[in-house]
Structures are given as C-alpha cells and as structure tokens.
Chains A and B, each alone.
Chain A
Amino acid sequence: GENVEQHPSTLSVQEGDSAVIKCTYSDSASNYFPWYKQELGKGPQLIIDIRSNVGEKKDQRIAVTLNKTAKHFSLHITETQPEDSAVYFCAASKGQAGTALIFGKGTTLSVSS
C-alpha cells in the first residue's frame, strides 16, 4: 500500500525566513496531495492541495510543488510569521472511492521573532 514519508520532523526558522517541508510517496498511482496545518488542541485545517496534472500551486505565502517522476512533493512557506508555528501534515491518495488519504507523520514548525 501507499507509504508517505515526511521530513524534517522539526523545523525552526527566524521570522521572515522561508520554510520548506518535503514528502515522498511510494504509490505512483497517487494523484492528490493535500497539506494540513494543525494548531495545538485543534483539528487539522486544509491549507493547500495539488493534483497530479499540475506541477506547482501558490496561494499567497504558501506554495506546493510536485515532482511525479521522483514521487515527491514539497510545501514552501515564505516570509514566515510566528502564527505559522504549528504541525504540518502532508498526505497522498489515489483519488478513488473507497481509498483513503495516507498521512505523513508531521513536521513541527517553530517561527521565532
């Protein structure tokens, strides 16, 4: 079955720096890749997603890139702010009915001012 590896497990940056989180997946049939942000004591919130027919997607300070050949995708956060501090999860799925999202183990991002 699908396996998603996420790196790094922790990431500390200074306010204003960029942060990059990388995920690799094993199933070449996967075609949907969402990213979630989870704040302490809350449920994950979808922040951006990408489908396999595009290589990059941007939403203000957040971007996701996808390399289907290498089977990896990355989250890029520019001009980080203290409120970006949270746990970020990547996930992958084949997009078929009855198949699940497979999540990475998460990255704890700390942005210090």
Chain B
Amino acid sequence: DGGITQSPKYLFRKEGQNVTLSCEQNLNHDAMYWYRQDPGQGLRLIYYSQIVNDFQKGDIAEGYSVSREKKESFPLTVTSAQKNPTAFYLCASSIVAHSNQPQHFGDGTRLSIL
C-alpha cells in the first residue's frame, strides 16, 4: 500500500540535544511538507520541498532544519535552538507543489522534552 511513514511515533529530547524525525513516502509525490500541531491549534507549516535538493521555509521555520536528498525522504531536525519543541509533528506530501493539490498526511511523531 502506498502511503507516508513517520518514525518514531514518540520521541523524547533532552535539553540542548538535536533530534531528527523521519518521513518516507512511496506515493511518488514531488512535494513534501512538515507541519507542527499544538493542542487546540491548527496545523502550522514549518518547511516544504517542491523537488529534490530544494526546500523553502514555512511560517515557523526557526529552530528547525530539513534536507531533501531523495524524492522519498524528507527528514526534519529539531535543533536545540527551538525553545518550545514539545508538539505533534506531521509530514505530508502532494503530487506536485501547488497548494491546490490534495495533501496526504502521515500519522505523526509526538516529541516531548525530558
């Protein structure tokens, strides 16, 4: 079955530590996205990538970094510069990068601070 796989499902970070969240898709989609979800809030865009080796900042990119070396993979690193990283992180993909194309989501990674 085609889909988006996020791992791990739960992740704990110590103070001052960088952590990387994995996102893999086998839908052959060109575009991939990372969102952050906080309780009672909508989804806020962190980064997106329209094509391999290209990515752009979203609304809340500070303290995060990404790479897009392969079409299937779009890992997100939460750096120590992100002072409030506790949240539910969602990865999505769409067939092309136009925002009027349906986005398909993974089941998320919940990040907590130890």
Q: Using CB atoms and an 8 Å cutoff, list the residues of chain A in contact with chain B.
A: 4, 6, 9, 31-32, 34, 36, 41-46, 49, 51, 89, 93-101, 103-106
Contact = CB atoms under 8 A, between A and B. Distances in A.
A51 to B, nearest CB: 7
Interface size on B, as a range, is: 20 to 34
A44 B98 contact: no
A41 B103 CA distance: 18
Given A32-B99, A93-B99, A43 B42 contact: no
Given A41-B107, A44-B90, A105-B42, 10 more contacts: A31-B100, A34-B102, A41-B108, A43-B90, A89-B43, A94-B99, A94-B100, A95-B99, A97-B98, A99-B99
B104 A93 contact: no
Contacts of B107: 41-43
B97 interface: yes
A96 B105 contact: no
Contacts of A32: 99-100
A100 B57 CA distance: 11
Interface string B64-101: 00000000000000000000000000101000111110
B40 interface: yes
Contact of A97 (B4, B6, B50): B50
